[in-house]
């Protein structure tokens, strides 16, 4: 695998993105939108300002066409795909549309995304239901993880909410197996595939969930505010958008196409962004390059840390994911993840750190534009920031 991914006409992939001034190794948090998509969205905004009423009148039809173009990228039927602003909204939509019965239980894991977990907790509290948390060891393989999740399922379980790719630990969960078992028992499944679109090749089919949600503004690099919600035929009729608007009387998914006076330009730009990166680079090549860079980053960081610190920070992740990986940090780096992130940003790095089960991790999520030179900088300057963080705490 080459150090620099080239466009089909021979330019470095980085030329497709606006220069950020950062060494960017954290595509997984907020994505990065290619220049051509930024321009396209800007043109749509101008069109909106130069004829707002006409733009708004045509928006639902254009949103429908967007859905139809997005659907093949996810391998789904456009009639089962709705657009929502983000993965959090998608999970909230499922929780609001399919309320938990009083006295029932909802299952999550200890790797759940914090903000989504807050939504589950509130829905359960308001319904008089209980939240059951399955503990999945970081190194658990698919079978062990599925057993761990299933071990907290009881005859009161009404819903299971699972991350397809976990946020703090960058691992897969065996969502397909759990969803299949749950369906046989009449338990509703919601898969939070926030990171999955285009990062995995067939995430919706692999999950087989009643409701699957995934952000297009992460790996897929569309403008922010664009997420897909895919319903299983059996529950589609029950799903209502969080915002009731003029589409309310329409069947699923058309009732999601109108969300009041909103800025629909991100949804209208999403298909163009997906096609653009396919045409310029190809999604298979992007995935392969990002995977190779993620593996190199973790290997180089782990090796350098092992040379610098006494304890071996190596981490064993069961079901790791190609382009989003974890490097363990030594116990000496006893600084909160958000404080570490702030220090890295101040030094010109887009990097993120997570915490799980009392351990601190560096989560690396490169993309098409990442080069070996970025990794050199990470090792040369990034590691120094870590040792400063540990000295500061020690002293």
Residue among 7 and 164 whose Cβ is closer to ligand PLP? 164
Residue among 220 and 327 whose Cβ is closer to ligand PLP? 220
Query: Segment near ligand PLP (CB under 6 A), from 84-92, 144-152, 235-243, 358-366?
Result: 84-92
Alpha carbon distance 194, 110 (integer Å): 17
Name the minimum Å distance from CB 113 to ligand PLP. Answer: 3
Query: Segment near ligand PLP (CB under 6 A), from 45-53, 73-81, 86-94, 295-303?
Result: 86-94
Residue among 7 and 265 whose Cβ is closer to ligand PLP? 265
Q: Which of 87, 145, 216, 386 binds ligand PLP (CB under 6 A)?
A: 87
Output the six-digit token pair for 249.
């009387």
Name the minimum Å distance from CB 12 to ligand PLP. Answer: 27
Residue among 211 and 332 whose Cβ is closer to ligand PLP? 211
Residue among 192 and 350 whose Cβ is closer to ligand PLP? 192
User: Please, what is the angle between helix 383-394 and helix 283-308, to 10°?
Assistant: 40
Q: Which positions from 227 through 266 interact with ligand PLP, judged by CB under 6 A?
A: none
Output the six-digit token pair for 385.
């920031």
Alpha carbon distance 240, 238 (integer Å): 7
Name the minimum Å distance from CB 309 to ligand PLP. Answer: 28
Alpha carbon distance 204, 213 (integer Å): 9
Is 47 buried (19+), middle (13-18) or exposed (0-12) by CB count in 10 A? Answer: middle
Taking CB under 6 A as the rule, does residue 88 contact ligand PLP?
yes
Q: Which positions from 204 through 223 interact with ligand PLP, judged by CB under 6 A?
A: 215
In the beta sheet, which residues pair with residue 325?
Answer: 364
Query: What is the DSSP code string of 186-203?
Result: T-EEEEE-TT-BTTBSSH
Q: How many CA atoms lie within 13 A of 293 on its CB side?
A: 31
Taking the CA atoms of residue 248, residue 250, residue 255 and residue 261 in that order, the dihedral angle to the nearest 10 degrees is: -60
Q: Are 265 and 124 in contact, with CB atoms under 8 Å apart?
A: no
Q: Which positions from 260 through 299 interact with ligand PLP, judged by CB under 6 A?
A: none
Q: Are 56 and 71 in contact, with CB atoms under 8 Å apart?
A: no
Name the minimum Å distance from CB 91 to ligand PLP. Answer: 7
Alpha carbon distance 274, 72 (integer Å): 11
Residue partners of 195: CB distance under 8 A and separation at least 6: 28, 164, 165, 167, 214, 215, 218, 219, 321, 324
Taking CB under 6 A as the rule, does residue 86 contact ligand PLP?
yes
Residue among 149 and 305 whose Cβ is closer to ligand PLP? 149
Residue among 36 and 87 whose Cβ is closer to ligand PLP? 87
Binding track over 156-195 against ligand PLP, x by CB under 6 A: -------x---x------------------------x-xx
Q: Residue 233: count other Cβ atoms within 10 Å of its Cβ.
A: 11
Q: Which of 70, 106, 116, 326 binds ligand PLP (CB under 6 A)?
A: 116
Residue among 85 and 271 whose Cβ is closer to ligand PLP? 85
Query: Segment near ligand PLP (CB under 6 A), from 65-73, 83-91, 123-131, 333-341?
Result: 83-91
Q: Residue 46: count other Cβ atoms within 10 Å of its Cβ.
A: 11
According to the 3-state scheme, what is the secondary structure of 60-126?
Answer: HHHHHHHHHHHHHHHCCCHHHEEEECCHHHHHHHHHHHCCCCCCCEEEEECCCCHHHHHHHHHHHHH
Q: Which of 55, 113, 212, 369 binds ligand PLP (CB under 6 A)?
A: 113
Q: How many residues sit close enough to ligand PLP to count as binding (CB under 6 A)?
A: 12
Residue among 145 and 281 whose Cβ is closer to ligand PLP? 145
Residue among 29 and 308 whose Cβ is closer to ligand PLP? 29
Provide the binding-site residues for ligand PLP, judged by CB under 6 A.
29, 86-88, 113, 116, 163, 167, 192, 194-195, 215
């Amino acid at each position: 695998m080459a150090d620099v991914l080239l466009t089909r006409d021979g330019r470095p992939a980085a030329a497709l993105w606006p220069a950020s001034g950062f060494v960017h190794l954290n595509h997984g948090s907020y994505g990065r939108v290619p220049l051509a998509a930024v321009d396209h969205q800007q043109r749509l905004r101008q069109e909106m300002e130069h004829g707002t009423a006409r733009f708004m009148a045509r928006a639902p039809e254009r949103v429908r066409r967007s859905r139809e173009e997005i659907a093949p990228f996810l391998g789904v039927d456009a009639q089962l795909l709705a657009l929502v602003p983000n993965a959090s909204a998608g999970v909230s939509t499922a929780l609001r549309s399919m309320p938990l019965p009083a006295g029932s239980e909802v299952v999550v894991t200890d790797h759940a995304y914090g903000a989504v977990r807050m939504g589950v907790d509130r829905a359960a509290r308001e319904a008089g239901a209980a939240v059951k948390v399955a503990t999945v060891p970081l190194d658990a393989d698919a079978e062990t993880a599925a057993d761990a999740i299933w071990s907290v399922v009881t005859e009161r379980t009404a819903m299971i909410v699972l991350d397809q790719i976990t946020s703090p630990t960058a691992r897969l969960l065996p969502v397909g197996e759990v969803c299949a078992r749950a369906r046989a028992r009449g338990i509703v499944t919601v898969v939070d595939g926030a990171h999955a679109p285009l990062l995995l090749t067939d995430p919706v089919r692999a999950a087989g969930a009643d409701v699957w949600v995934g952000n297009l503004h992460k790996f897929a690099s569309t403008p922010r505010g664009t997420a897909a919600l895919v319903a299983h035929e059996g529950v589609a009729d029950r799903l209502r958008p969080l915002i009731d608007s003029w589409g309310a009387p329409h069947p699923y998914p058309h009732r999601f196409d109108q969300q009041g006076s909103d800025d629909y330009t991100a949804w209208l730009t999403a298909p163009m962004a997906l096609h653009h990166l396919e045409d310029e680079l190809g999604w298979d090549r992007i995935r392969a390059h990002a995977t190779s860079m993620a593996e190199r980053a973790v290997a180089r960081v782990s090796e350098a840390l092992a040379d610098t610190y006494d304890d071996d920070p190596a981490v064993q992740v069961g079901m790791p994911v190609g382009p989003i990986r974890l490097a363990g940090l030594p116990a000496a780096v006893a600084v909160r993840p958000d404080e570490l992130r702030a220090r890295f940003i101040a030094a010109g790095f887009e990097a993120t750190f997570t915490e799980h089960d009392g351990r601190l991790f560096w989560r690396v999520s490169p993309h098409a534009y990442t080069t070996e030179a970025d990794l050199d900088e990470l090792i040369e300057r990034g590691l120094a920031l870590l040792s400063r963080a540990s000295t500061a705490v020690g002293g």
